[in-house]
Amino acid sequence: MTMTRTAPRSPWMLDISDLGRRPGSMIETEREIPAPADLGTDVISVPEGQTLPLTTRLESVVEGVLVTGTVRATAVGACVRCLDPVSINVESRFQELFAYADRAAHHREVGAEDDETEQHVVVDGYIDLEPLLRDTVVPALPFQPVCREDCLGLCAQCGVRMEDDPGHEHVDIDPRWSALAALAEQAEPAEDD
């Protein structure tokens, strides 16, 4: 172990030095961390810097540190039907093993079968929660957020909010006739010359 330790690079880095490596020791914490950038999808995301309440339980196990916890966030976006603002509260649970680097190396040597799954590793006495938070929060967000399950959306023809004018409809003109009508309109000489 070296005497100098890398300063935490981000607020999502947890110092685990108090936990020790004796299997069975445990630390429970509650803290608030700022949301990282791009926590979400194109249609809904958690604004960067939002204060996220985070609870964690760190357990020392033989392989590393088992991290169990919950994170809460409020994602904002737009309803995919009517484009009104939408905000959605999510509370997500996570559990992940952060392996000690020496153990992780051993795993690679023996060719652990889960090569394709991302392995979290304890680095220099810290664990980085950011990838874990991302994997926890983003899948909990709706793929197509709506302001209400029964949102009527916008009229496909004129774009008016159907809720504001639920009965309105458009006379369905045969597309061939409407093309002719458009031509006729163009050809029409200006009358009030």
List C-alpha distances in Å: 98 to 28, 67, 113, 162. 16, 7, 17, 50
Q: Strand 39-40 vs strand 126-128: parallel, antiparallel, or unpaired?
A: unpaired
Residues in region 137-156 near Zn ion by CB under 5 A: 147, 151, 155
**64 dihedral zone (left: phi>0; alpha: psi -120 to 50; beta):** left
Tell which one of 85, 157, 164, 179 touches Zn ion (CB under 5 A).
157
The answer to whether 53 touches 30, Cβ cutoff 8 Å, is: yes
Tell which one of 7, 158, 171, 190 touches Zn ion (CB under 5 A).
158
d(CA 52, CA 54) in angstroms, rounded, equals 6
Spell out, one character per residue from 78 to 97, where the chain touches Zn ion: x when CB under 5 A holds, - when not: -x-xx-x-------------
**44 binding Zn ion? (CB under 5 A):** no
Identity of the residue, 65 or 79, whose beta carbon is nearer to Zn ion in the bound complex: 79
Count the residues of the shown chain that bind Zn ion, applying the rule CB under 5 A.
10
Which residues make up the interface to Zn ion (CB under 5 A)?
79, 81-82, 84, 147, 151, 155, 157-158, 160
